[in-house]
Structures are given as structure tokens and as C-alpha cells.
Structure 1
Amino acid sequence: MACRPVVSSALKCHVLRLKPGDALKASLRRVISDLKLRAAFVVSCVGSVQSVTLRYASDMDGNSRTETRKERMEILSLTGTLSGNDRGHLHASLGDVNGHVIGGHVIEMEIYTTAEVVIGELTDANFERVGDSETGCDELVVSVRKT
């Protein structure tokens, strides 16, 4: 397997707070679009949700399952990449009222009390998603930003 080229870049951070009822992924996509960010990623996120839709990892037969849970949960971790020309690729770990943890690919999350999010932007890079014949998915391609 060939390693993809590495792109080094300066970093700029953007901080935002989402409020009760906000859709996290849609809100992040709107911020990315409004700020015209081309290579963004989640640095940090703390807060809580009242509803989450996750897609879980595929089983050995390639089948994946999506689940929506309407309950209050703490955001333990949120990570992923975002750019102006795609839906973003986010994964989350969430803790329920009993301390049990679930995690998966974020379809959407509705904020309960708050979400304090730090978005990093690689100012010298560009993210895009391109179809990959090996995985059958649109995968991240990182390139040097042309000014």
C-alpha cells in the first residue's frame, strides 16, 4: 500500500457555541460554508445532545446499521474532517445517563444544552472527497492550496 503525500500547513482556529435545538452537523457545514473553509477539522467539542443518529461499523458481510436515539447524552468525543464541498466525515463517542458509551459515524446530532466547538483550519491545504475504487467510498484527498 502506497502512502499518500503529506501536506504541512499553518493552523487557524475558529470557536463557536451551538445552542439548544441546533443540529450539530448542519450547523458545522453552514459555518464551513460561510467562512469558505477548504480544509477544516474538529479540534475539540464538549456539550450534550438530546437526539443522535449514528451509523455503526459494517459487519463482515459489509452491512451497516443506522440508529437514532432520542435521549440526553454527553459528547465525550467528536472528531472528523470538513470542507466546503462535501458532507463532512464526523465520528462521535457519547455517554448516556448510566455511563454507557456508544459511538459511530455521525449522521446528525441535536444539541441539548450546548456544544462548544473548536474548528481547526489548515490554511495552506485543501480537502476534497474523491471516489476510491479500492474502498468504494468517497475518500479524503489532501492537496496544497493554490492561492
Structure 2
Amino acid sequence: MESLLIEILKGFGVSAVSVVMVLGLLMLSKEALISRLTKSIEHEYAVKLEDFKFQLEAKKKAELVAKLLAHWIRFPEDQEELNRMALECFLWLPDKIASDLSDLLAHNREHEVSIRSVIISIRQLLNNGNKEYMNLKDYEVILFTNQSKELQYNHLLNSLGLNLQP
């Protein structure tokens, strides 16, 4: 390729020095282009890696809120662990969700804030407001309670034909 270029340039009466300079410029341009592409790709993957790390950390923090709420529902005797988890959550949650969580744990605004509404808010936060994660309703978040155990037991009895209810 280079010898063909030299022959073409010589055919136009271009000196050997000019040919060498043109070839040098072409090689430098090629190296600059490769370097630019390499750096661009490295940057793109670095951004993706940081986004992945952020998502992973956010998921861990959301799991902490879920553990806190699951522990809180059990009305534990030992409040130390509950306090530790709550304080860790308050360190990173946005103000609105932290305020809702505080009201929930303190039994304030019970008709406005629930475990389900806090979970849905965190779910939306984790997914950056993605519309696919905006439609889940409070009643669609399942919580298991003693009442659900009783319902499950009654359902089992009914499925076996042993309906013991009057």
C-alpha cells in the first residue's frame, strides 16, 4: 500500500522528502486515531463499570431497609440491632423516603405511610424512575403475617375437604 502511494506521488513529481513527510503524517494520523478510539472505549467501559458498582451498592442498601422492616415487624425485644439498621438506613436514604421510614417506625401517619409504600419508594429510587418500575401498587407487595398463616392453613384444610369452619 505504501509503495503504491510512493509511486503515485512520484508520478505527480513529488520529491522523496515530501513522500516521506506524507507517509509520516499518515502513520501519525493512524496512531492518533487508534489512540483516540482506545481511550474512548476505555472511558465508555469505565462509566459502565461505575454504574454497575453504584447499582450493586444501591441494591445492598435496599436489602438493608428490607431487613430492617422485616425485623421491625417481629417486635423484637433487643432494640440495639433494630436501631443500628435504622440509623444505617437514615445515612443514605433521600429525605422524603427517610422521613416516611421515620414516620412508619414511629407509628406516625399510619394511614399515609406503610411498609409497602416505603418499599415501593425505594424500588423506584433504585430503578432511577424507570417507568417499568412505577406501576406497582401497595396492595401488590406481599407481607406474611400470622393472619396469612391462618388463611394458608384454612386453604389447605379446604383443599383436603376438611372444612372445620362453622
TM-score scaled by length of structure 1: 0.22
TM-score scaled by length of structure 2: 0.20
More strand per residue: 1
| RCO comparison, higher one (Cα < 8 Å, 6+) | 1
Radius of gyration: which is bigger? 2
More helix per residue: 2
